[in-house]
Structure 1
Amino acid sequence: MNTTERTRALRRRMVVEARRATVEHGLHGFTIEQLCETVGVSRRTFFNHFASKDDAVLGIELDANDEMLRAYAQGDAVPTDLDPLGSIVALAIEQMHLVGIDRADEALVRQVFDREPVMVAKFLSATDVQLAALTRAVRQRFGWDDDDRRAQLVAEAAAALLKVTASAYFDDAYDEATAPAFDALLTENLRLLRAAITPGPHPSADHEEGTE
Structure 2
Amino acid sequence: MSTTGRTRALRRRMIVEARRSTIAHGLHGFTIEQLCETVGVSRRTFFNHFASKEDVVLGIELHADVEAIESYAAGGVVADDLDPLDSIVAMAIDQFHRAGIDRADEVLVRGVFEREPALVARFLSATDVQLARITDAVRLRFGWDDPDDRRARLVTEAAAGMLKVTAETYFDDAFDEVTGPTFGDLLTTNLRLMRAAISTGQDTTP
Which range, TM-score by smaller chain?
over 0.9
Q: Does 1:173 find its partner at 2:193?
A: no
Gaps (5+ residues) in structure 1? 204-212
Kindly state the Cα deviation for residue 96 of structure 1 after the two structures are TM-superposed. 1.3
Corresponding position of 2:165: 164
Q: Does 1:44 find its partner at 2:53?
A: no
Letter in 2 for 1:40: G
Corresponding position of 2:30: 30
Give CA-to-partner distance per residue, 1:122-168, whole Å, 9 cap, x none: 10000000000000000000000222100000000000000000000
- The 2-side partners of 1:146 and 1:86 are apart by 23
Structure 1 residue ranges (4+ consecutive) displaced by more than 2 angstroms after TM superposition: none
Give CA-to-partner distance per residue, 1:57-84, whole Å, 9 cap, x none: 0001111210000000001110011110
Letter in 1 for 2:193: L
Corresponding position of 2:112: 112
Question: Where does 1:1-212 land on structure 2 (aligned, <5 Å)?
Answer: 1-144=1-144, 145-199=146-200
- The 2-side partners of 1:194 and 1:147 are apart by 25
Kindly state the Cα deviation for residue 199 of structure 1 after the two structures are TM-superposed. 3.3
3-state SS of paired residue (1:7): helix
Corresponding position of 1:208: none
3-state SS of paired residue (2:77): coil
Give aligned-pair identity as a percent: 73
Structure showing greater radius of gyration is 1
3-state SS of paired residue (1:76): coil
- The 1-side partners of 2:180 and 2:36 are apart by 38
- TM-score normalized with structure 2 length: 0.96
Work out whether residues 139 and 146 of structure 1, in 8 Å CA contact, stay in contact via their aligned partners in 2.
no
Give CA-to-partner distance per residue, 1:79-107, whole Å, 9 cap, x none: 01111000000000111121112101100
- TM-score normalized with structure 1 length: 0.93
Aligned length: 202
- The 1-side partners of 2:171 and 2:116 are apart by 20
3-state SS of paired residue (2:138): helix
Work out whether residues 50 and 56 of structure 1, in 8 Å CA contact, stay in contact via their aligned partners in 2.
yes
- The 2-side partners of 1:113 and 1:165 are apart by 20
- The 2-side partners of 1:84 and 1:151 are apart by 8
- The 2-side partners of 1:146 and 1:103 are apart by 39
Letter in 2 for 1:159: A
- The 2-side partners of 1:110 and 1:101 are apart by 14
